[in-house]
């Protein structure tokens, strides 16, 4: 080992570490982003998760296996052999748990976090509360209707709405269990039936108007708001393709200038300022084809799928959260790479089948784009993912049942999702 490498490792060891808590694309991306910031990092994720194949993965010593749920968080942290760390949540329920258990910036005495209040988290994570909170604010949003019982459908103005869909109040849990983010409602009766089925399964739902416009009208304002209410890092991207259609995840995005979507950026900052938000965020907007307004759809209150992409473009919000949690100065980033693409190869190939595009489009977009999983300097997660995909395709073709480990790995990858439409 060269002296330069030894010096770097020594410097890393002397720093207060970060503990990334999450699975799937987000857990892996946050792990890499923290490491790219030159911060020593531990990772808490379910056994066999994508992040566990990274060259930088280190499980906290002494901590029991964690299934990714909030039930085992306190036990895992209490039994960890590390002296302390800055917590980086990668799922809604974990971010909520951290907020509820943070007192004066500390969690369980030895952990730190850059987080908002539990009340703010509840407003942003609960779709019903968020829709209600937005009603008297000067922030454009889709028309949403709370449904408390079956009779509420008799009073919804379906004749004055464009298209509507049933949306879960808790999108993360709903997506993890059903693999869906919303259900179309063609009319009042269809909405009533869908709502009744979801309600019987324990899912709270709201009815929301679908904002008309193509996929490219979806834009994201990602970033970090610090303890002093400043925005040291803001990052904008535009969705190009999505899979499954309508209620799926982005399969190809491109970074864009903040000025290109200035009304959305302004609305996002106004919203977070009013809630006195602190921490990592990702806000989704859609430009309404009817009047050109950018309507807020959702705010993720934690690291998100594209957090590594933002870091590779120059806005490393995980590094900012690490510094802010320790009350250290957070450097302001004003410039980042614009026009850079990020692709999920496997799902983007599926997305191309559903749009008027050919693989010639992919040949233009894919070269030079970042990929969610593949990195030259960290190839094992991609090898694991591709081999797993091949095994599942083989099993489907020959009608083979998946193993328990494959089922566990598949379910853990659903714990972090892109913002739903």
Is a pLDDT exceeding 60 seen at residue 11? no
pLDDT digits (tens, 9 = 90+) for 206-229: 888 999 999 999 999 999 999 999
Is a pLDDT exceeding 50 seen at residue 411? no
Rounded Cα distance between 12 and 402, Å, is 41
In 101-213, alpha helices (H): 118-125, 127-134, 171-178, 188-200
Q: What pLDDT was estimated at residue 101?
A: 96
Q: Are 168 and 144 in contact (CB under 8 A)?
A: no
Q: What pLDDT was estimated at residue 340?
A: 97
Q: What pLDDT was estimated at residue 314?
A: 98
Q: What pLDDT was estimated at residue 157?
A: 81
Tokens of 365: 């977009």
Q: What are phi and psi for residue 87, nearest 5 degrees?
A: -85, 130
Q: Would you call 267 helix, strand, or coil by DSSP?
A: helix
Q: What pLDDT was estimated at residue 7?
A: 46
Q: What pLDDT was estimated at residue 402?
A: 56
Long-range contacts of 240-246 (CB under 8 A, 24+ apart): 240/215, 240/216, 240/341, 240/365, 241/215, 241/348, 241/351, 241/352, 241/355, 241/357, 242/215, 242/218, 242/351, 243/347, 243/348, 243/350, 243/351, 243/354, 244/354, 245/351, 245/354, 246/182, 246/184, 246/421
**Listed range (6-10, 256-260, 340-344) with the worst mean pLDDT:** 6-10
Rounded Cα distance between 64 and 262, Å, is 46
pLDDT digits (tens, 9 = 90+) for 362-394: 888 999 999 989 999 999 999 999 998 778 777
pLDDT category, 245, cuts 50, 70, 90?
confident
Domain count, the chain: 1
Mean pLDDT of 79-84: 92
| Neighbouring C-beta atoms of residue 216, cutoff 10 Å | 12
Mean pLDDT of 175-188: 72
Domain-located, residue 47: no
Tokens of 53: 């194949």
Domain-located, residue 200: yes
Domain-located, residue 151: yes
Rounded Cα distance between 407 and 331, Å, is 42
Please provide the average confidence, as pLDDT, over all residues in the chain.
87
pLDDT digits (tens, 9 = 90+) for 300-330: 999 999 999 999 999 999 999 999 999 999 9
Rounded Cα distance between 107 and 100, Å, is 9
Exposure string over 111-122, b if 16+ CB within 10 A, otherwise e: bbbbbbeeebbb
Q: Which domain CATH number covers 167? A: 3.30.1490.20
Q: Which of 218, 216, 148 lies closest to 181, judged by CA?
A: 218
Of residues 179 and 396, more confidently modeled: 396
Rounded Cα distance between 294 and 271, Å, is 13
pLDDT digits (tens, 9 = 90+) for 115-170: 999 999 999 999 989 999 999 899 999 998 888 777 777 777 877 777 888 887 77
Tokens of 114: 């850059």
* Lateral strand order in the sheet of 249-256: 294-300, 279-287, 218-225, 233-243, 249-256, 341-343, 370-371
Supply the range of the domain harboring residue 188: 143-210
Q: What pLDDT was estimated at residue 5?
A: 46
Strand partners, 20: 43, 88
Domain-located, residue 169: yes
Q: What pLDDT was estimated at residue 21?
A: 96
Q: Would you call 367 helix, strand, or coil by DSSP?
A: coil
Is a pLDDT exceeding 60 seen at residue 1? no
pLDDT digits (tens, 9 = 90+) for 268-311: 999 999 999 999 999 999 999 999 999 999 999 999 999 999 99
Domain-located, residue 419: no
**Distance of alpha carbon 284 from its chain centroid, rounded?**
11
pLDDT category, 184, cuts 50, 70, 90?
confident
pLDDT digits (tens, 9 = 90+) for 333-357: 999 999 999 999 888 988 888 777 6
Q: Would you call 232 helix, strand, or coil by DSSP?
A: coil
Domain-located, residue 102: no
Strand partners, 399: none
Q: What pLDDT was estimated at residue 14?
A: 64
Rg (CA), the chain: 21
Domain-located, residue 340: no
Q: What pLDDT was estimated at residue 44?
A: 94
Q: What pLDDT was estimated at residue 122?
A: 96
Of residues 5 and 266, more confidently modeled: 266
Domain-located, residue 159: yes
Mean pLDDT of 255-260: 98
């Amino acid at each position: 080992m060269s002296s330069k490498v030894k010096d770097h490792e020594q410097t890393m060891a002397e720093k207060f570490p970060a503990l990334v808590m999450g699975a799937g694309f987000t857990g892996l991306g946050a792990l890499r982003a923290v490491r790219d910031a030159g911060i020593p990092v531990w990772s808490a994720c379910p056994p066999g998760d994508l992040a566990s194949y990274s060259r930088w993965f280190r499980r906290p010593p002494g901590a029991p296996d964690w299934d990714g749920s909030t039930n085992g968080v306190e036990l895992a942290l209490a039994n960890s052999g590390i002296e302390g760390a800055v917590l980086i949540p990668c799922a809604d329920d974990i971010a909520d748990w951290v907020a509820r258990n943070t007192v004066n910036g500390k969690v369980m005495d030895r952990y730190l976090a850059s987080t908002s209040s539990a009340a703010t988290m509840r407003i942003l994570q609960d779709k019903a509360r968020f829709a209600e909170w937005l009603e008297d604010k000067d922030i454009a949003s889709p028309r949403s209707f709370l449904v408390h019982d079956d009779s509420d459908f008799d009073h919804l103005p379906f004749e004055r709405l464009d298209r509507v869909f049933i949306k879960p109040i808790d999108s993360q849990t709903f997506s993890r269990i059903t693999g869906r983010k919303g259900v179309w409602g063609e009319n009042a009766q269809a909405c009533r039936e869908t709502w009744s089925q979801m309600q019987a399964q324990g899912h709270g739902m709201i009815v929301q108007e679908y904002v008309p416009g193509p996929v490219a009208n979806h834009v994201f304002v990602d970033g970090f708001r610090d303890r002093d209410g400043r925005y040291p890092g803001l990052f904008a991207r535009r969705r190009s393709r999505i899979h499954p259609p309508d209620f799926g995840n982005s399969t190809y995005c491109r970074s864009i200038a903040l000025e290109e979507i200035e009304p959305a950026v302004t609305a996002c900052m106004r919203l977070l300022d009013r809630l006195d938000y602190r921490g990592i965020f990702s806000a989704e907007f859609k430009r309404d084809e009817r009047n050109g307004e950018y309507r807020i759809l959702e705010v993720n209150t934690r690291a998100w799928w594209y957090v590594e992409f933002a870091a590779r473009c120059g806005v490393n919000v995980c590094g900012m959260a690490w510094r802010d949690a320790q009350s250290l100065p957070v450097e302001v980033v004003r410039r980042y790479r614009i026009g850079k693409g990020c692709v999920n190869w496997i799902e983007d190939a599926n997305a191309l089948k559903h749009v008027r595009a050919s693989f010639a489009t992919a040949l233009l977009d894919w070269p030079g784009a970042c990929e969610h999983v593949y990195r030259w300097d960290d190839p094992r997660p991609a090898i694991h993912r591709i081999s797993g995909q091949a095994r599942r395709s083989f099993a489907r073709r020959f009608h083979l049942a998946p193993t328990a480990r494959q089922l566990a790995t598949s379910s853990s990858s659903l714990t972090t999702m892109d913002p739903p439409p």
